[in-house]
């Protein structure tokens, strides 16, 4: 028997604590005199034999701290991976050979690319659906092994009813997965809404500082947890100890970062909607990501996003700094996403500074 049995871990914390408190209090060392308040970074490829860890690919105390926090927040058992897509690949390994996966056509483009690649290799069938149509995911779920929900979608910001979709998909025998990267467990706890697995790109809001790649999958039940943990062990999609530390440290401030960025996002939405150079603003009403299209389309979007001085022109999202990009600059972006669509990941800067920069950038449209 190699590796650790995570069920051995004591559950110190009451599940009635609020997410804000769990983000701060979970995943801490025992309170013995002189122990640090934070689980330290443990760079180890191997461990002295006879314990529960044994080898660096099987386990790491710094991963466990991160997993304990995310597991507490999502209400399940978490497995940390090297990136969000590594977590997605692990979750897709739960699909039996040749079976179908239903996915929103505007799910994260890496997820769709991963699914299409698996389909091309003959491993599974993909059904891409338009989630602006009511019950699209459920209607495509007959005989499907998995329904993959992403809500809101990236970058179309479409929202689906997770509870309703999960219930209907489960009666059809499909495993229900939710990519909760945009909403975070502060807004939406999919396992409580009936999902089987939650995945995150922890690279984004959970870690929150644009300095670490990480992913995590959270299982509602022990059997699924074991499969996901075994996948990591066998496929080697292991996070680094430093990344695990940074991601855990980032999680401590998730609630304040999220609230502040969401507040900035809401104010930005109002200002953008009233701006004469802006044609279309999309925002699901919560969260830290919004999109807009300049009146001048793709060319204007390119000019605007490269004219900012405070806002960084960069891909990715969920960091403390505001970033934006024209999404169609990516080859793989679906052509149903408009040429001029700018995705904005709103950070925690002072709003006056943020708006002043966005306004001067829009003058370049």
Helices then strands, each counted (H, E), the chain: 12, 12
Asked if 162 interacts with ligand PLP (CB under 6 A), we say no
Question: Which residue, 260 or 343, has its beta carbon nearer to ligand PLP?
Answer: 343
Q: Which of 228, 174, 172, 222 is nearest to 199 (CA)?
A: 228
Phi-psi region of 277 (alpha: psi -120 to 50; beta: other; left: phi over 0): alpha
Determine whether 249 is an active site residue.
Answer: no
Residues in contact with ligand PLP, shown as a per-residue x/- string from 216 to 255 under the rule CB under 6 A:
----------------------------------------
- Residue appearing with tokens 């466990």: 64
Closest residue to ligand PLP in the complex (CB): 84
Asked if 340 interacts with ligand PLP (CB under 6 A), we say no
Single out the catalytic residue among 55, 57, 116, 172: 57
- The stretch near ligand PLP (CB under 6 A) out of 33-41, 58-66, 79-87, 279-287 is 79-87
* Beta carbon of residue 16, minimum distance to ligand PLP (angstroms, whole number): 29
Q: Which of 166, 171, 165 is nearest to 196 (CA)?
A: 166
Work out which of 92, 213, 342, 348 binds ligand PLP, going by CB under 6 A: 213
Work out which of 184, 188, 201, 345 binds ligand PLP, going by CB under 6 A: 201
Map the footprint of ligand PLP across residues 271-310, applying CB under 6 A.
Answer: none
Asked if 151 interacts with ligand PLP (CB under 6 A), we say no
State the Rg of the chain over Cα: 21
Asked if 181 interacts with ligand PLP (CB under 6 A), we say yes
| CB within 8 Å of 180: residues ≥ 6 apart | 74, 188, 190, 198, 199, 200
Asked if 184 interacts with ligand PLP (CB under 6 A), we say no
Question: Which residue, 288 or 305, has its beta carbon nearer to ligand PLP?
Answer: 288
* Beta carbon of residue 316, minimum distance to ligand PLP (angstroms, whole number): 7
Task: Read off φ and ψ for residue 100, nearest 5 degrees.
Answer: -95, 150
Q: How far apart are CA 93 and CA 87, in angstroms?
A: 10
* Beta carbon of residue 289, minimum distance to ligand PLP (angstroms, whole number): 9
* Beta carbon of residue 217, minimum distance to ligand PLP (angstroms, whole number): 11
Determine whether 139 is an active site residue.
Answer: no
Question: Which residue, 215 or 338, has its beta carbon nearer to ligand PLP?
Answer: 215
Asked if 154 interacts with ligand PLP (CB under 6 A), we say yes
Q: How far apart are CA 33 and CA 39, in angstroms?
A: 14
Single out the catalytic residue among 28, 77, 105, 108: 108
Task: Read off φ and ψ for residue 255, nearest 5 degrees.
Answer: -65, -45
- Write 8-15 long-range contacts (CB < 8 A, 24+): 8/52, 9/64, 9/68, 13/72, 15/72, 15/75
* Active-site residue set: 57, 108, 179, 204
């Amino acid at each position: 028997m190699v590796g650790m049995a995570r069920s051995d871990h004591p559950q110190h914390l009451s599940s009635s604590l609020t997410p804000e408190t769990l983000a701060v209090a979970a995943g801490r060392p025992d309170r013995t005199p002189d122990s640090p308040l934070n689980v330290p970074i443990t760079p180890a490829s191997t461990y002295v034999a006879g314990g529960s860890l044994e080898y660096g690919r099987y386990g790491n105390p710094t991963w466990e701290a991160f997993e304990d926090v995310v597991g507490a927040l999502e209400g399940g058992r978490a497995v940390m991976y090297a990136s969000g897509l590594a977590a997605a690949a692990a979750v897709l390994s739960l699909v039996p050979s040749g079976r179908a996966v239903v996915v929103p056509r505007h799910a994260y483009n890496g997820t769709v690319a991963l699914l299409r690649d698996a389909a091309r290799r003959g491993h599974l069938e993909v059904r891409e659906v338009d989630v602006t149509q009511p019950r699209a995911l459920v209607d495509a779920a007959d005989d499907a092994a998995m329904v993959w929900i992403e809500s809101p979608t990236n970058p179309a910001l479409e929202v689906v009813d997770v509870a309703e979709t999960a219930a209907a998909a489960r009666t059809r025998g499909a495993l229900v997965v939710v990519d909760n990267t945009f909403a975070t467990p502060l807004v939406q706890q999919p396992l409580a809404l009936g999902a089987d697995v939650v995945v995150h790109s922890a690279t984004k809001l959970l870690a929150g500082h644009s300095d670490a790649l990480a992913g995590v999958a959270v299982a509602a039940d022990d059997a699924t947890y074991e499969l996901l943990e075994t996948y990591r062990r066998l496929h080697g999609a292991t996070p680094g100890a430093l990344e695990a530390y940074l991601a855990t440290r980032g999680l401590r401030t998730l609630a304040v970062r999220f609230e502040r960025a969401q507040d900035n996002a809401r104010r930005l939405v109002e200002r953008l909607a009233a701006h004469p150079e802006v044609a279309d603003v999309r925002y699901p009403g919560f969260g830290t990501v919004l999109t807009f299209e300049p009146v001048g389309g793709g060319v204007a979007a390119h000019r605007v996003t490269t004219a900012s001085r405070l806002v960084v022109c960069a891909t990715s999202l969920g960091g403390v700094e505001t970033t934006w990009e024209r999404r169609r600059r990516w080859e793989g972006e679906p052509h149903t996403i408009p040429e001029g669509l700018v995705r904005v990941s709103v950070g925690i800067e002072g709003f006056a500074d943020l708006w002043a920069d966005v306004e001067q950038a829009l003058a370049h449209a």
